[in-house]
């Protein structure tokens, strides 16, 4: 995520911590200019042993990573579990915008968050009111430039990292070509989006919203029964054709970070014709997802954070994969076939309790793609990490021990001489 980990490392070093960083490729190296880095050039097979030795040799107390589904990260999680080392996992926020997820042990399908609604109602009652939360700027241009820099550094140093393989299914150059094609058509796609939304508004039809997730999203491939995005479209459209009221429309929205290598418009049209519902399906590439959510009759998602956006508006949501917010009383727990005609709205009291617990334990305000957002994020992350750090715990323990013995000394004149001798020997 660009300079994010370097900024975290710098802040921790300023607070007196030692920080190590493992680089798997030139992109990792490019965004880390601090001491303490190690270039891992070995195989995936040898990686767990290497990490275990590094943790032991350097006395590492905590491991931080972004996303827990990449093969090196899955192996790292096993190593940390065996060594009883806390694993702190970052991900883009469960709530958006302006939040980043930081959870102990794993996120999404590997999250340790309970699925019991009573837990959230009880826990929220024990927490203070949620602090005020302000928006932070985010720049797509910054995100794009950081991605270009990372992938360029990766490609130019593949010779130095002979065993490195990207977790994404496409070569960076292939993805770059896809993005260039998509950006070259942005005026046409914006016009198509406006036309589709105008027709939808003029029809006054009720619509269900199905926001697509990225085809390479590990949350889809590992934490759902779908093989990819096309498989999910086939499933949703087939159910819509068979069970949705005939006056209901299905709006399918492309993910804003889709690389353009798949022509989802054509794929949706082909599937719509196959099930004889092409006239009741609208496909859009752009548009404001927040506005689309507000007017939807319901939202169908695998495990996208668009679901929490809809729930905050009181819109019914059904999840087709593992999602942290898939809880009885919050999301629709019937089948997708039933959802089209009878979507169950969320219990807003329960969702508010869930949100409060989420922001307290699993989220940090801020973002990755502007200086203001990054500054806020780094402050929040370091504060959260330090509240659980072994060094701080030992310092507090020492302070408490000192206060205890001071209190004993103040009471020494009130106890028998024999007990004073015993206390002195213990001290």
Distance of CA 325 to the CA centre of its chain: 13
**Residue 404 burial (C-beta neighbours within 10 Å; 0-12, 13-18, 19+):** exposed
Edge-to-edge strands of the sheet including 363-365? 63-66, 87-92, 99-104, 363-365
| pLDDT reported for residue 189 | 84
| pLDDT reported for residue 178 | 80
Over residues 67-74, the mean pLDDT reads 91
How high is the mean pLDDT of the chain? 87
Q: Tokens standing for 78? A: 């096993």
Banded pLDDT at 186 (limits 50, 70, 90):
confident
Banded pLDDT at 191 (limits 50, 70, 90):
confident
Distance of CA 32 to the CA centre of its chain: 22
pLDDT tens by residue, 211-223: 999 887 777 777 7
| pLDDT reported for residue 412 | 36
DSSP-derived secondary structure letter, 331: B
The pTM for the full model equals 0.84
pLDDT tens by residue, 88-112: 999 988 998 899 999 999 988 888 8
Q: How many other CB atoms are there within 10 angstroms of residue 46's CB atom?
A: 12
| Helical residues (DSSP H) of 112-217, grouped into ranges | 117-126, 140-156, 172-184, 186-203
Of 408, 400, 213, the C-alpha closest to 305 is: 213
| CA gap 26, 221 in Å, rounded | 27
Helical axes 229-243 vs 264-274, angle rounded to 10°: 30
What percent of the chain is predicted at pLDDT more than 90?
63
Q: Tokens standing for 252? A: 């399918």
Q: What three-state secondary structure class fits 260? A: coil
Is it true that domain 187-361 has CATH number 3.20.20.70?
no
Q: Which residues pair with 100 in a beta bridge?
A: 92, 364
What percent of the chain is predicted at pLDDT more than 70?
91
For residue 415, pLDDT over 80 is answered with no
Distance of CA 253 to the CA centre of its chain: 20
pLDDT tens by residue, 223-279: 788 888 999 999 999 999 999 999 999 999 998 888 888 899 999 999 999 999 999
Over residues 308-331, the mean pLDDT reads 95
Give 4-138+362-388's CATH code, choosing from 3.40.50, 3.10.50, 3.40.190, 1.10.3470. 3.40.50
Distances (CA, A) of 290 to 100, 286, 294, 326: 18, 12, 6, 20
Q: What three-state secondary structure class fits 197? A: helix
Supply φ then ψ for residue 101, to 5 degrees.
Answer: -80, 135
Let me know: does 51 contact 76? Beta carbons within 8 Å.
yes
Q: How many other CB atoms are there within 10 angstroms of residue 167's CB atom?
A: 12
The answer to whether 4-138+362-388 and 187-361 have equal CATH topology is yes
Of 349, 235, 350, the C-alpha closest to 301 is: 235
Q: Tokens standing for 4? A: 């994010």
Over residues 165-170, the mean pLDDT reads 75
- Structural domain boundaries in the chain: 4-138+362-388, 187-361, 391-426
Over residues 327-334, the mean pLDDT reads 95
Among the residue ranges 118-127, 251-260, 345-354, 384-393, the one predicted with the least confidence is: 384-393
| pLDDT reported for residue 132 | 85
Banded pLDDT at 367 (limits 50, 70, 90):
very high
| pLDDT reported for residue 223 | 76
Among the residue ranges 17-21, 266-270, 326-330, 387-391, the one predicted with the least confidence is: 387-391
């Amino acid at each position: 995520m660009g300079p994010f980990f370097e900024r975290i490392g710098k802040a921790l070093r300023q607070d007196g911590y030692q920080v190590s960083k493992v680089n798997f490729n030139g992109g990792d190296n490019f965004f880390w200019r601090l001491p303490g880095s190690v270039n891992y050039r070995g195989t995936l097979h040898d990686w767990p042993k290497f990490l275990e030795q590094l943790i032991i040799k350097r006395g590492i107390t905590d491991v931080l990573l972004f996303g827990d589904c990449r093969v090196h990260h899955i192996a790292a999680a096993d190593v940390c579990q065996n060594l009883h080392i806390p694993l702190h996992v970052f991900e883009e926020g469960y709530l958006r915008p302006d939040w980043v997820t930081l959870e102990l042990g794993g996120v999404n399908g590997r999250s340790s968050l309970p699925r019991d609604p009573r837990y959230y109602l009880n826990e929220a009652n024990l927490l203070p009111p949620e602090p005020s939360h302000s928006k932070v700027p985010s720049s797509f241009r910054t995100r794009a430039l950081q991605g270009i820099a990372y992938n360029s550094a990766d490609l130019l140093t593949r010779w130095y990292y002979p065993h490195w393989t990207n977790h994404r299914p496409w070569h960076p150059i292939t993805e770059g070509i896809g993005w260039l094609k998509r950006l070259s058509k942005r005026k046409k796609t914006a016009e198509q989006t406006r036309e589709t939304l105008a027709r939808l508004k003029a029809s006054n039809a009720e619509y269900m919203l199905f926001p697509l997730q990225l085809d390479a999203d590990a949350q889809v491939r590992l934490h759902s029964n779908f093989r990819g995005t096309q498989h999910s479209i086939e499933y949703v459209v087939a159910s819509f054709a068979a069970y949705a009221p005939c006056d209901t429309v299905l709006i399918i929205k492309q993910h804003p970070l889709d690389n353009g290598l798949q022509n989802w418009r054509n794929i949706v049209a082909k599937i719509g014709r196959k099930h004889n519902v092409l006239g009741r399906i609208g496909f859009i590439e752009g548009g404001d997802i927040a506005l689309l959510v507000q007017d939807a009759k319901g939202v169908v998602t695998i495990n996208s954070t668009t679901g929490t956006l809809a729930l905050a508006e009181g819109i019914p949501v059904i999840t087709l994969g593992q999602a942290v917010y898939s809880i009885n009383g919050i999301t629709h727990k019937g089948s997708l076939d039933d959802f089209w005609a009878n979507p169950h709205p969320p219990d807003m009291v329960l969702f508010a309790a869930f949100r409060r617990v989420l922001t307290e334990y699993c989220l940090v305000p801020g973002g990755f793609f502007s200086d203001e957002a990054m500054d806020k994020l780094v402050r929040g992350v370091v504060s959260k990490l330090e509240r659980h750090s072994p060094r701080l715990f030992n310092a507090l323990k020492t302070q408490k021990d000192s206060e205890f013995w001071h209190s004993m000394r103040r009471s020494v004149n009130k106890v028998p001489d024999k007990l004073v001798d015993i206390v002195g020997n213990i001290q």
